[in-house]
Amino acid sequence: MAHEIKSPIPGTFYRKPSPEEPPYKSEGDSVAKGDTIGLVEVMKTFHEVKADGEGTVSSFGVEDGAPVMAGQVLAVLD
């Protein structure tokens, strides 16, 4: 059964800690509860988005650097 990880707040979603670093997680990666999957930036403040379930990343609901709304699906785990 698929599990959705949703944005806790509105802002801009980033899959990497910085432009020069690799993404926290990619499609096909295993995710444990509590793993960071990305960041949401609001007014120059970055908030970690942590997995509230476990599984394998099957897809991301938004592109890196895209605006998101609170409750929007960021990633889907299988």
The residue ranges of every structural domain in the chain are 3-77
Instruction: Give the H/E segment covering residue 6.
Output: strand 3-6
Give the separation between CA 31 and CA 43, rounded to whole angstroms. Answer: 28
pLDDT band of residue 36 (cuts 50, 70, 90) is very high
From edge to edge, which strands make up the β-sheet containing 66-68? 45-50, 36-42, 11-14, 66-68
Higher pLDDT, 10 or 1: 10
CB neighbours of residue 47 within 10 Å: 14
Q: How many Å apart are CA 47 and CA 23, to the nearest integer?
A: 15
CATH class assigned to 3-77: mainly beta
pLDDT bucket at 1, cuts 50 / 70 / 90: confident
